[in-house]
Structure 1
Amino acid sequence: AALRHPAGGGGLVWHAQLLEPNSTIEVGADGSIKPRRALLPVRASDFFASLVRLADGRWLFSGVLNGWPGLTLLELRSITVLSKSLMGPDKIHRVWKAESSTEPPSMPDTPQLSVRATLRSAPWSAEGYSQEVRGNVWWFFAQRDAGVKSGLGPIFAHGEDIIEQSAASPEPPAQAVRVHLFSHRYARAKKETAKDRLTYHSAVLIEWNHSRFTTVVELATLNGVGGRNGKSNWYHDKMEAQPALYRHMPPHMIVPFKGEFAEIRCSDVPSTSLDEFKQYIAKYTGSGSGFRFIDPHFTHSGPVRLSHRSQPDIARYLLNYMGRDRRYTEKVRNCQAFAADFFAFTAGKKGIEVHQPR
């Protein structure tokens, strides 16, 4: 355990809700806690039974937290309670701290409004999805068997492994030939809010020299696909119980999304050209249930003007981009900023702006 979770800070932080035996929070009709919830509920008895103490004094949660395959071997940092106050607002205070508490962690003896455990992933989680591979970029080679005689079939890769997988085909690496910047609003089952009408997602479509498929490249919140059952707007099977993307994702990437951090996603899609991709977008454009896009705009197109423009080259550029800054912010470090940067870089153009509502 100590080798898989070395000492040190910087890892992703998680908050779990510790539930009393009679709690009904996130509990199903059969009395069991609903799995894979954003709140990360867990019975207190199960939580403390899964704690192990390492030789260096740290306490690790060794179970699988709330059924999320990627949430295991987490270092317990603190236990916080929300207490009812007779006068004034309810009080929040920590009853156990990893740095200073001498007693083993335990559930408070007296009833509380809520009890929360703060846990931390290993330090390497600040740099990638696994201990062995760095880089918060992933690529779903969903069309790997589309005309390629390798017989490999679809493959999911992340971090530095993308470069190895992109070169795994017996054919020469694909070369990027054209790029297209597009934007859209998200279709929602309920009525759009004022903010929804002003919020556009932007991405870049890459056309390759083999013309067998294209690739959607986008920046979004970290773990946003693994944390939402593998649902992707770029594939017809999005609403299936187990989309192909989800089936191919490694278990360690099935964790809740982290809105303050970013990742770059590359999705090979069946469309062989921009026109075919526009037809796909049109199929799912509309308001209400079953639709995905509203008001799509393809604002920029151009040839790729890079000397080194193979699929491994593109992957390296994206890894370098994410390696400089892993933040995600709604106003600055977002999908639109990345799409404009990536298109400008690959097409060799200046002053690129994404679509803005009027």
Structure 2
Amino acid sequence: MATVDFVKLVKRYGALEVVHAIDLAIAEGEFIVLVGPSGCGKSTTLRMLAGLEDISDGEIRIDGRVVNEVEPRDRDIAMVFQDYALYPHMTVFENMAFSLRYRDVPRKEIDRRVREAAEVLGLTPYLQRRPRQLSGGQRQRVAMGRAIVRKPRVFLFDEPLSNLDAKLRGSMRLEMKKLHQRLGVTTVYVTHDQIEAMTLADRVVVMNAGHIEQIGTPDEVYHAPASLFVASFIGAPTMNLIPAHRRQGGVMLGESGPVLPYPVPGADRDDLVLGVRPEDVQVALGDAEPGRFDIASVVEVVEPLGADTLVFTQAAGHPVTVRVRPEIRPSPGDDLMLRLNMDRAHLFDVKTGRAVGRAHG
């Protein structure tokens, strides 16, 4: 296990800067997930850590040692790629053993490490098979096994589950979580899938356009997004974001909607966005409640999901999604009174894109 630090890390391609002086400290044994849309710089950052991309400026430190000029093979890391990169003519055993043979590890030690890793990954029955005889999930486990046998101080994963179907991705996420709990190796994982990020990470690093938008636990980035980008990217469905304005000591939804009687924190702001998660919007079935605010809406689409139902509405001239119990089943075109939980709502400044606090308090 090792610590990893990015210090003002920069990557440029000619005049184009794609990673902008990011700072990140990763603790020993921590599982960190870099998440963001395509082109945000997450894979480039991982490749700089691996030594596969040159660093334009700043430093990468592993256990306090600056590794900017250190060759990939000398960084004591192991990387698992999206495309598995298995040798088709080799057996599972030979694929997992290849890097150890390349490093002249004794044969008995190779055999011990490969069989130990195969046992951990459930690959023992497949050691004499070739990649074409394996499923996608089994191939990915072989790629992981090839990394494990090296006993590196840092694991790197570059979107390793993106080629798998949805059901298999779910089972592999569980296997990866168990594996990290068992081995405890410092892990840096890149994905565009926010569900992977939320379920796997000790801390999530949300990236956008080469910048770090927020670093926090899954609960922190979900329940306390630091910016409009994080609020809109994290969550499925994403947070409801309703344009708003400071009016009469409260917040007016849209241009002429209802005024929510809550003070705007900080200095006066004309252009705001009110953010509320779908599960923090309820169908108003009774009298008003303290800390709640009711607004009228019209149902557009209803999506039953079994355990719950998503209701897509128009409220105050803007789309609002509601997550409700499965027995609540309105029809498109119905008028629906929505009840916002203002204790769990957020306000964002349009000019800066940053959170300015909870709407309540």
With normalisation by structure 1, the TM-score equals 0.26
With normalisation by structure 2, the TM-score equals 0.26
* Bigger CA radius of gyration: 2
More helix by share: 2
